[in-house]
């Protein structure tokens, strides 16, 4: 395998039932099965998942200030993390949820050494609560946690099969990139991850792979180093 320790980044939207949001438990079971197959190869896996299927932006338009809205979003990521943990443990994948905001009745507080120890023991570790600070996205949380646990790569699972120069859902002529430099992503504002996350990865030479999560064995193929999706390095 090319990658031994990975950080998976999922948006909350990939769990949504439809435009109404919520959690599609059939999708959750499918993603968990893919993760179990990768873990069976000996890969150490960390996960950061967003909360957009439960709460997504715009709260300030309804009288909720940005800081409060961001904390609400962090709580949404905890809900998704607990759902993921339950789905993984249902198929005998030992899993731990670590949160940036203390809530010991639900999960362990995030401590770098503890997270690494769980990974070394073969447990899947789900990092919830973002960075624990408002104004930072879960993309930034994923980059930060990946650097802290010394992951080999950040793998961002999306609905499309890589990074395009336009919106492939709206533009049939949009071109997919096989590889990109960090600086090109920033300069062209391609929306792979937010600028803070890209900058963190660039400064620490941490590669990012953007791939379609719903493709057949795509996660397994990416971990093995096959040319799937777009690599940013």
Question: What domains does the chain contain, in order, with CATH numbers?
Answer: 5-232 (3.40.1160.10)
How confident is residue 60, by pLDDT bands cut at 50, 70 and 90? Answer: low
Burial class (CB in 10 A: 0-12, 13-18, 19+), 13: middle
CA 211, CA 41: separation in Å to the nearest integer?
Answer: 20
In this prediction, residues 103-112 reach a mean pLDDT of: 95
What is residue 127's three-state secondary structure? strand
- What Cα–Cα distance (Å) separates residue 112 from each residue in 55, 106, 209? 27, 18, 23
Q: 201, 192, 50: which is closest to 127 by C-alpha?
A: 50
Burial class (CB in 10 A: 0-12, 13-18, 19+), 134: middle
pTM (two decimals)? 0.93
Which of 3-17, 51-65, 136-150, 219-233 holds the top average pLDDT? 136-150
In this prediction, residues 164-186 reach a mean pLDDT of: 86
In this prediction, residues 163-169 reach a mean pLDDT of: 82
pLDDT of residue 167: 78
Is the model's pLDDT at 53 over the cut of 70?
yes
| Residue 211: CB atoms within 10 Å | 22
How confident is residue 46, by pLDDT bands cut at 50, 70 and 90? Answer: very high
How confident is residue 61, by pLDDT bands cut at 50, 70 and 90? Answer: low
Is the model's pLDDT at 154 over the cut of 90?
yes
In this prediction, residues 86-111 reach a mean pLDDT of: 96
Share of the chain above pLDDT 90, in %: 69
């Amino acid at each position: 395998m090319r990658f031994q320790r990975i950080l998976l980044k999922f948006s909350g939207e990939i769990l949504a039932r439809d435009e109404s949001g919520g959690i599609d438990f059939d999708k959750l079971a499918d993603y968990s099965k893919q993760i179990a197959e990768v873990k069976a190869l000996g890969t150490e896996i960390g996960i950061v998942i967003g909360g957009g299927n439960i709460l997504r932006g715009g709260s300030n338009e309804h009288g909720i200030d940005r800081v409060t809205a961001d904390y609400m979003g962090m709580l949404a990521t905890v809900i998704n993390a607990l759902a993921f943990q339950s789905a993984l443990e249902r198929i005998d994948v030992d899993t731990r949820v670590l949160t940036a905001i203390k809530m010991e009745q639900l999960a362990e507080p995030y401590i770098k050494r503890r997270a690494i120890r769980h990974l070394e023991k073969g447990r899947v570790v789900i990092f919830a609560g973002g960075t624990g600070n408002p104004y930072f996205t879960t993309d930034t949380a994923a980059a930060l946690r990946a650097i802290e646990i010394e992951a080999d790569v950040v793998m961002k699972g999306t609905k499309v099969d890589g990074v395009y120069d336009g919106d492939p859902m709206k533009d049939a002529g949009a071109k997919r990139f096989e590889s990109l430099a960090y600086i090109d992503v920033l300069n062209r504002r391609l929306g792979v991850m937010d600028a803070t996350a890209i900058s963190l990865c660039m400064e620490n030479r941490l590669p990012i792979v953007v791939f379609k999560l719903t493709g057949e064995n795509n996660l397994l193929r990416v971990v093995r180093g096959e040319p799937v999706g777009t690599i940013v390095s």
